[in-house]
């Protein structure tokens, strides 16, 4: 029964010209069907926010790629870094699908070399250096997702932004533990 | 009204804390921005006093590129309050809720711009 429902759903998606969405994308869009009839001005602005988020995710993917191929990360830290990169790739794919669903054009990613230069990756000399960079980027990403929440015209997308922020905060927490940094002494340390 | 607003912003600027602004900048702006490199957003060193959309080699939205905004206390406060209200069609959309935090971030950017 479940399989037939899935097949029927896939057929509907294909018939409407929408590519089949991944599980994460379906989850991302859950409850957001009203996006299809959102006000055009709101939609254009929401697409802009999502494209900025996409640039953020692409930068994170490149940063983890640089770290993973640097030779500076040892197991099990390397495995964790690759897992986090996978999360960012899922975020990227979900954002691209959502931008397209809203009628927008996903922004192209910069090359790893361009990101390496922008992040001054040549200065990374140890595992700790790589983890500090990742920790800084994850906190910045979490705060970026929190900071754009009030700007979404479509409220379910604001909720998605909060979910993405939670993933980044989880990454930051793990990295903070690996680095043996103290946890925040006060509550509400993100978005502040 | 405009005079009162300008005086209020000027008072905030005088009381602003650039050191706290640096902390805020690194934790809240650092996901997308650096002082000396274009990333998701443009490089910020020198932004204070600069025309919006004029950092070299950054791909701005047409809205920002074509705006007449010059970054200073009032415009940065308005931008960080609600970017879309200041320049409709921009791509940042990140908001800083409290006036004190906006003033401190602005003080840090001003300091880093040598102004």
- The ipTM of this complex is 0.83
Query: Tokens 């037939």 map to which residue?
Result: A4
The distance from CA A57 to its chain's CA centroid, rounded to whole angstroms, is: 5
- Domain A42-178 - what CATH class? mainly alpha
Quick check: A131 and A175 in contact, CB under 8 A?
yes
* pLDDT tens by residue, B63-106: 999 999 999 999 999 999 999 999 999 999 999 999 999 999 99
Query: Tokens 């069609």 map to which residue?
Result: B89
3-state secondary structure A4-45: HHHHHHHHHHHHCCCCCCCHHHHHHHCCCHHHHHCCHHHHHH
Question: Domain-by-domain residue ranges, chain B?
Answer: 2-112
pLDDT at A42: 86
Reading the block at residue B78, the tokens are 């308005």
pTM of structure: 0.82
* pLDDT tens by residue, A130-150: 999 999 999 999 999 999 999
Question: Domain-by-domain residue ranges, chain A?
Answer: 42-178
Alpha-carbon distances, residue B48 vs A43, B45, B67, B73, B101 (angstroms): 31, 8, 16, 8, 16
Instruction: Tell me phi and psi for residue B51, to 5 degrees.
Output: -70, 140
- Domain B2-112 - what CATH class? mainly alpha
Choose the closest CB to B40 out of A56, A142, A191.
A56
- Which residues of chain A lie closer than 8 angstroms to B94, CB-CB? 144, 147-148, 151
Chain B closest-CA separation from residue A4 CA (Å):
42
């Amino acid at each position: 029964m479940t399989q037939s429902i899935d097949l029927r759903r896939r057929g509907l998606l294909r018939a409407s010209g929408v590519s089949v969405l991944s599980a994460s994308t379906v989850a991302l869009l859950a409850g957001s069907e009203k996006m299809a009839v959102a006000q055009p001005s709101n939609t254009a602005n929401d697409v802009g926010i999502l494209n900025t988020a996409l640039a953020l995710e692409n930068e994170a993917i490149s940063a983890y790629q640089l770290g993973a191929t640097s030779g500076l990360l040892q197991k099990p830290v390397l495995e964790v870094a690759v897992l986090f990169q996978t999360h960012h790739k899922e975020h990227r794919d979900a954002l691209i699908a959502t931008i397209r669903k809203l009628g927008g054009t996903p922004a192209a990613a910069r090359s790893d070399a361009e990101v390496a230069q922008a992040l001054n990756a040549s200065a990374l000399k140890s595992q700790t250096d790589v983890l500090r960079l990742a920790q800084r980027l994850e906190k910045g990403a979490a705060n970026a997702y929190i900071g754009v929440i009030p700007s979404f015209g479509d409220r379910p997308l604001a909720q998605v932004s909060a979910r993405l922020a939670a993933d980044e905060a989880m990454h930051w927490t793990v990295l903070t533990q690996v680095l043996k940094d103290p946890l925040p002494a006060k509550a509400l340390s993100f978005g502040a | 009204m405009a005079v009162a607003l300008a005086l209020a912003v000027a008072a905030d600027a005088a009381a602003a804390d650039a050191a706290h602004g640096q902390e805020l900048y690194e934790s809240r702006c650092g996901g997308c921005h650096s002082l000396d490199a274009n990333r998701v957003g443009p490089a910020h060193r020198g932004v204070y006093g600069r025309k919006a959309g004029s950092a070299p080699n950054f791909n701005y939205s047409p809205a920002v590129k074509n705006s007449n905004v010059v970054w200073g206390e009032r415009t940065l406060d308005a931008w960080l309050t609600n970017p879309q209200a200041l320049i409709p069609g921009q791509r940042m959309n990140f908001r800083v809720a409290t006036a004190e935090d906006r003033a401190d971030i602005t003080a840090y950017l001003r300091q880093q711009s040598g102004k």
